[in-house]
């Protein structure tokens, strides 16, 4: 910075906040304000477009856990959706053909219809997944 350079006078309008920051830096470092502005511009021009790997590492460390959590939530949601579809298939069949006076839980007996409903839903989900992948 000890080089003798030709100086050009310019007039710029800047925000009050930036002006106060420049003033503080000027007083703290005991240099004039134009030196602060020139140094900031030189830094910007020298570093424009530079890749900041540390910043990418920090952001990546923040995003990867969130991405993993979102994946787990998606799998849980798919499982819940599958179970809900099985229930819909079961109740549809049950209400359509049954006049039963007694409720039989799946703990007591798993009906063939329930197994079939589960297979239907699994096929449906597989078709949707395949369609989503092919789009």
Cα 125 from Cα 85, distance rounded (Å): 10
- CA angle 40/43/7 to nearest 5° reads 60
Cα 126 from Cα 118, distance rounded (Å): 12
DSSP states along 102-117: S---TTT---HHHHHH
Instruction: Report pLDDT for 110.
Output: 66
Q: Is the pLDDT of residue 4 over 70?
A: no
- Which tokens hold the place of 127? 């078709």
Select the more confidently predicted residue: 5 or 37.
37
Domain ranges of the chain: 16-47, 74-134
Q: Indicate the SS3 state at residue 105.
A: coil
Q: Could you give the C-alpha distances from 9 to 15, 21, 34, 49, 62, in angstroms and in order?
A: 19, 21, 10, 28, 45
In this predicted model, what pLDDT tens digit does every residue of 52-72 receive, in sequence order? 777 778 878 888 888 888 888
Cα 87 from Cα 92, distance rounded (Å): 8
**pTM exceeds 0.85:** no
In this predicted model, what pLDDT tens digit does every residue of 38-49 receive, in sequence order? 888 888 888 776
């Amino acid at each position: 910075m000890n080089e003798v350079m030709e100086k050009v006078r310019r007039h710029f309008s800047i925000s009050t906040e930036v002006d106060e920051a420049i003033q503080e830096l000027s007083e703290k470092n005991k240099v004039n304000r134009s030196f602060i502005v020139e140094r900031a511009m030189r830094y910007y021009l020298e570093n424009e477009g530079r890749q900041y790997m540390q910043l990418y590492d920090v952001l990546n460390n923040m995003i990867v856990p969130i991405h993993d959590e979102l994946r787990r939530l998606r799998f849980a949601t798919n499982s819940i959706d599958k179970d809900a579809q099985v229930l819909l298939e079961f109740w549809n069949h049950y209400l359509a053909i049954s006049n039963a006076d007694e409720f039989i839980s799946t703990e007591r007996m798993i009906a063939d219809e329930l197994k079939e409903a589960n297979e239907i839903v699994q096929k449906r989900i597989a078709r949707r997944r395949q369609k989503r992948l092919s789009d």
